[in-house]
Structure 1
């Protein structure tokens, strides 16, 4: 795999708020003079969590760069030090392969969110309840499963599902946005569709959906989203490391931000700043750990 960083350096976030307690970071370098790079994938959940963490780190005095990458490139960037941290590692299943490949170059700080789920999702009105029923009903789904970006761990598991169940449906790759657009269009036309998806995701708050049963348990059980940092971050930026280590929130809190991001014309970073401002009691726990 090419290790070239196919990044879209989407946002160079200027340091805006310096709290009085910031003080000095390692080696006498002030936090506001340090830049930290957060990598993420363009999933609605990770857009929400990464922008919230960016807003919090800025409140602590850091300059923050956000880099949008594929899942594979995100972990590669972390292993080479091109990225300092991610709050987007789905474990123990979805991103297990990536973690195994770069395990000696990164540090897993543990879960920042519990209660995730992966699987194939259909509208609640669809008269199919299990993955092993898909072949007999392939025609109502146009013989295809609508997926997300091809480098995502979810897509690797979906490929395993196709093989395990010997499905005659084609797995189409795309992105979170194209998957949601296809789902929205199908629901608006009261059509059947099957997509790869996960919880937490704002689409479950917008539409009545259901996961297809997975008798072979290919997708596995509930997962957690972990914070992972590059080796050496604790020495280089101890305050940022401590904040990242303390970061933990609930699916409901993440859902609040994801729904804000669905408002037409809204900006994920501005929404994150608003959420941080409105939830200072939570944020203070991360800042003062």
Structure 2
């Protein structure tokens, strides 16, 4: 090979190395801090309940404003608590105590961080019927009216704390009823269809829930207090979350909502059912003073 050809080959090799180096440098600049991969990621469990959808989207809106990458995982209560214990989920935002989710608290209290203070203090749970059912006012009245309800209690997702407690209600009151599993959305549809036609229906419900603002319902008296009385809602996080996300853990511990605030948040989200984050963002924008208190 001639000296001229060797020289040309050397020059070509140098150019190729230079181009490769430039490509490598430009690639590292392209993976800047604005990508989702570079943000701190937080996963929050979500259940298809109105207040849960509202709260999870509210936290997604708040945290993404602060630069976090938030993923909402739609997962029912039992698997959600298991995922929290295994470290596959960061936050479970809705644990009802002292009664509804007692079984999950007892099972996972040594593996999961349950917050000491609740974020909501005025919850109520029980069996509800339409107000036009004048002769049914207590759980004790259900067996006498079994034929009206066809021996069915219209329920929602299996594994939810309230569904577990409702099975206990059936046993402790000796009810000759079957608890029918479905979904929260299907249960609400059944309630609305029944009330529109003035038909009997009984279902396990809870407040806060927007259905009480649209349908005239009443809770049945629970003389044995199986559902408990006032329920409080707590947050829970995986072990180590407070160390990994100190600021977020502190914000969540400061988090508190009253009836009016939660009601307005739920309405905003419900009005944007196709895009719940939009409703949550609107509420966040209108409640900056409150949110700033949580951020202290």
- TM-score, normalised to structure 2's length? 0.84
How far is the alpha carbon of 1:265 from its aligned partner?
Answer: 4.9
Secondary structure in 1 matching 2:158? coil
Alignment of 1:98 with 2:98, yes or no, is no
Q: Aligned equivalents of 1:266 and 1:279: distance in 2?
A: 22
Structure 2 match to 1:68: 74
Q: Aligned equivalents of 2:50 and 2:38: distance in 1?
A: 28
Matches within 5 A, 1:199-214: 199-214=207-222
Residues 215 and 90 (structure 1), Cα distance of their counterparts in 2 relative to 1, 3 Å cut = same
Structure 2 match to 1:233: 241
Matches within 5 A, 1:40-189: 40-109=46-115, 110-127=117-134, 128-189=136-197
Aligned residues of 1:87 and 1:112 also touching (Cα < 8 A): no
Structure 1 runs of 4+ off > 6 angstroms?
A: none
How far is the alpha carbon of 1:202 from its aligned partner?
Answer: 0.4
| 1:178-203 deviation line (CA, Å, top 9, x unaligned) | 11000000011111110110010001
Alignment of 1:256 with 2:259, yes or no, is no
Secondary structure in 2 matching 1:122? strand
Q: Aligned equivalents of 1:115 and 1:254: distance in 2?
A: 11
Higher helix share: 2
How far is the alpha carbon of 1:104 from its aligned partner?
Answer: 1.8
Residues 255 and 32 (structure 1), Cα distance of their counterparts in 2 relative to 1, 3 Å cut = farther
Q: 1:39 aligns with which of 31, 42, 45?
A: 45
Q: Aligned equivalents of 1:54 and 1:94: distance in 2?
A: 26
CA RMSD, 1 decimal? 1.7
Residues 235 and 257 (structure 1), Cα distance of their counterparts in 2 relative to 1, 3 Å cut = same
How far is the alpha carbon of 1:264 from its aligned partner?
Answer: 6.8
Q: Aligned equivalents of 1:265 and 1:120: distance in 2?
A: 26
Compare CA radii of gyration and give the structure with the larger one.
2
Q: Aligned equivalents of 1:270 and 1:253: distance in 2?
A: 17
How far is the alpha carbon of 1:40 from its aligned partner?
Answer: 2.2
- TM-score, normalised to structure 1's length? 0.86
Q: Aligned equivalents of 2:82 and 2:75: distance in 1?
A: 10
Q: Aligned equivalents of 1:204 and 1:244: distance in 2?
A: 28
Structure 2 spans left out of the alignment, 5+ residues: 1-36
Aligned residues of 1:32 and 1:62 also touching (Cα < 8 A): no
How far is the alpha carbon of 1:32 from its aligned partner?
Answer: 7.0
Secondary structure in 2 matching 1:104? coil
Residues 265 and 149 (structure 1), Cα distance of their counterparts in 2 relative to 1, 3 Å cut = closer
Q: Aligned equivalents of 2:92 and 2:178: distance in 1?
A: 32
Residues 264 and 240 (structure 1), Cα distance of their counterparts in 2 relative to 1, 3 Å cut = closer
